[in-house]
Structure 1
Amino acid sequence: MKRRTFGLGLLAGLLAACGGSKFRSYNGPEVTSVVVNKGTGRMYLLHHTEILKEYDIYLGFAPAGPKQFEGDGKTPEGTYLIDRRNPNSAFHLSLGISYPNAQDMAFAESQGKRPGGDIFIHGQPNNDKKAGKKANWTAGCIAVKDREIEEIYAMVRNGTVITIRA
């Protein structure tokens, strides 16, 4: 019995040391904004004007130009909010972006189309970890590595402004 208890304790200790949970905690400065630069493929988490963290990103499969219509594969450009969290995402973890806004919807409607939606910052796909190794494989979202989305998920709160630049 002692041997089994020791073995289970050792296993639990190893799992904890390996960071078995995808949920992290963060106690640093508040992330006051997120800035995405599509042209350089970088995302920045800022506390006012100070860069706290920066990441390489993957974008929509048609990265040039702003998202305008459902299915165009483009990542939006403009200012939005982080408006939701998905701990059970098909892409490890994800943070929702408030696209489309009123202007996005009005433009799409004026063209007789739908603006699309469900734009997220997310990790790698749960069912195909190889997909994340290809450039620009998402359908309009902003993707990072799983370990990075864990960090971002802990740092960024709902209501944080996100600016996505060309």
Structure 2
Amino acid sequence: MIDLDDTDRAMIRALAEDATLSAGALGRRFGLSQPAAWRRVRRFREAGVFRGHRLECDNAALGFGVTVFLGVKLATRGRTGLGDFERAVQAIPEVQTVEHVLGMYDYRLRVVARDIADFERVLRRRIMTLPGVGSLDANVLLSEERRPGPLGARGARVQDATS
């Protein structure tokens, strides 16, 4: 685990909102020189704080108007192992995330579809035919708000102090 000060947390939050910020822009925003900001970002990368670079797509703009969270309970854990299920579910393009969870279900899937009829097709033809699927529970996403994450509360004070 990396030790972070308030400026580090604020910089990470800023980069999480806009990964294209340059070291110069970060330095100006947080009262640091460009080299000092760059050294902090390099330290974050070396410590594994960042996991790759991603582009967030708007599913609705791409024609996927429905998002469903599926709880999946596997029927058996003997012959059909977790690995078989994981490999098969990852091949379904409509499944955005596969999370192995503890609790009522074994997996939680985030599935996108064009509409409810399209989701039903994906469910019947692809998901329900996966190896080991026992029971399913579906929750349709109505709205989604971005949460600030673990650095939000503490970092907010820093931003006010440096503005």
TM-score calculated relative to the size of structure 1? 0.22
Which one has the bigger helix percentage? 2
TM-score calculated relative to the size of structure 2? 0.22
Which one has the bigger strand percentage? 1
Rg (Cα) greater in structure: 2
